[in-house]
Amino acid sequence: MKFKWAFLATFFLMALNASGPAQAQVYVLEDPADWKEIETPPPPAFDVKKLITFEVSPNSQLVYGVDPATISISQKDGIVRYVMVASNASGASNVMYEGIRCTTGEFKTYARYSPDGKWTHVSKPEWRSLFENMPSKHALRFARAGACDSAAPATSVDTLVRRLKNQNFRMVE
């Protein structure tokens, strides 16, 4: 892998688990001009009965959740991909297959799930800032709820899921 400029960042994130010693994760960040997204995997199957929900806004009438089985963290491009479900009190839902690029603070919607049970791919998905003034800040809240460690993806899906289940993990603005 070629680097246009030397930018090496090492993050040692110690995570104790019940079965063994601490683990360290190393990330190498390259020149953003050299970054390339992998071919996006197809949207995974999801189960609304297994959603881990989290609050996006105290004023929102929608409940957001992610099925942990849909979460993946690509080691090749650093993207956290997942299926996000937004539901209202009457049971109607909006389902999106998305990705977060923690290193740049951006997210992308790859596909939307239709009521007839089929995925419709976004024709030209584009990266958008997590911090834009949008009607919903669900991707930003998901990033803060555990998908990202500052500018790096969570060290593992297991770590991300544990954070999502801990409602107090970094949920302040």
Give the residue carrying structure tokens 């500018």: 151
pLDDT digit string (tens) for 86-108?
999 898 899 999 999 999 999 99
What sign does the dihedral 45-50-56-57 (CA atoms) show? positive
Q: For the residues of 130-166, what is the DSSP string, one character each?
A: TTS--S--HHHHHIIIIIEETTEE-S-HHHHHHHHH-
Checking if the pLDDT of 9 tops 50, the result is no
pLDDT digit string (tens) for 106-144?
999 999 999 899 999 999 999 999 998 777 789 999 999
pLDDT digit string (tens) for 29-39?
556 678 899 99
Rounded CA-CA distance 32/157 in Å is 24
What's the confidence (pLDDT) of residue 25?
Answer: 44
